[in-house]
Amino acid sequence: MESLATPAKTQTEQAHDGLVDLVRLCSRLGFGAVRPQRRTASQDPQGNKDVEAAPENEPAVPHAAAPEPAVEPETPRLHLAYRAAAPRAAEPRVLVQPVEPPGNLYASLARKRISAIGFAPQEAVAIERCLTAQFSIVDAIGLAHAAADGSNLGHMDLLILRSGDDAAASDAAFIKTLVHQGFPVLVTGPRRVLSRLVSLHKEGAIDFLNEPWDTEEVVWRSAGLMERSSLRRRRGAAEKMRILVADDDAASRTLLSATLDRCGMECLEADHGGAAIDTLRRERPHAAILEVVMPGLDGFQVLAEVRRTPELAAMPVAMLSLRQSEPDVLRGFGLGADDYITKPFSPMEVAARVKRLVARAS
Is residue 195 included in any domain, yes or no? yes
Domain closes at, from 202, 228, 254: 228
Same domain, yes or no, for 110 and 222?
A: yes
How many independent structural domains does the chain possess?
2
Mean pLDDT for the stretch of residues 18-36: 62
For 76, list phi and psi in degrees, rounded to 5: -65, 165
Please state, as a whole number, how many other Cβ atoms lie within 10 Å of the Cβ of residue 342. Answer: 13
User: DSSP class of residue 203?
Assistant: T
Same domain, yes or no, for 217 and 245?
A: no
For residue 323, the model assigns a pLDDT of: 86
Give CA–CA dist 262/10, Å, rounded.
Answer: 120
Average pLDDT, the chain: 76
Could you tell me if 287 and 244 are in contact, meaning their C-beta atoms sit under 8 angstroms apart?
yes
Same domain, yes or no, for 215 and 261?
A: no
How buried is 248 (Cβ within 10 angstroms: 0-12 exposed, 13-18 middle, 19+ buried)? Answer: middle
Check which CATH number belongs to the domain holding 323 and give it: 3.40.50.2300
Sheet with 265-270, edge to edge strand ranges:
265-270, 241-246, 287-291, 317-321, 339-342
Is residue 152 included in any domain, yes or no? yes
Domain with 224, as residue range(s), is: 105-228
Please state, as a whole number, how many other Cβ atoms lie within 10 Å of the Cβ of residue 293. Answer: 14
Is residue 69 included in any domain, yes or no? no
Is residue 134 included in any domain, yes or no? yes
For residue 77, the model assigns a pLDDT of: 46
Domain closes at, from 205, 228, 251: 228
Is residue 337 included in any domain, yes or no? yes
Could you tell me if 320 and 350 are in contact, meaning their C-beta atoms sit under 8 angstroms apart?
yes
pLDDT at 82 over 90: no
Mean pLDDT for the stretch of residues 248-256: 88
Q: Model pTM?
A: 0.40
Domain closes at, from 166, 194, 228: 228
Is residue 153 included in any domain, yes or no? yes
Same domain, yes or no, for 222 and 110?
A: yes
Same domain, yes or no, for 134 and 222?
A: yes
Same domain, yes or no, for 223 and 250?
A: no
Give CA–CA dist 166/320, Å, rounded.
Answer: 52
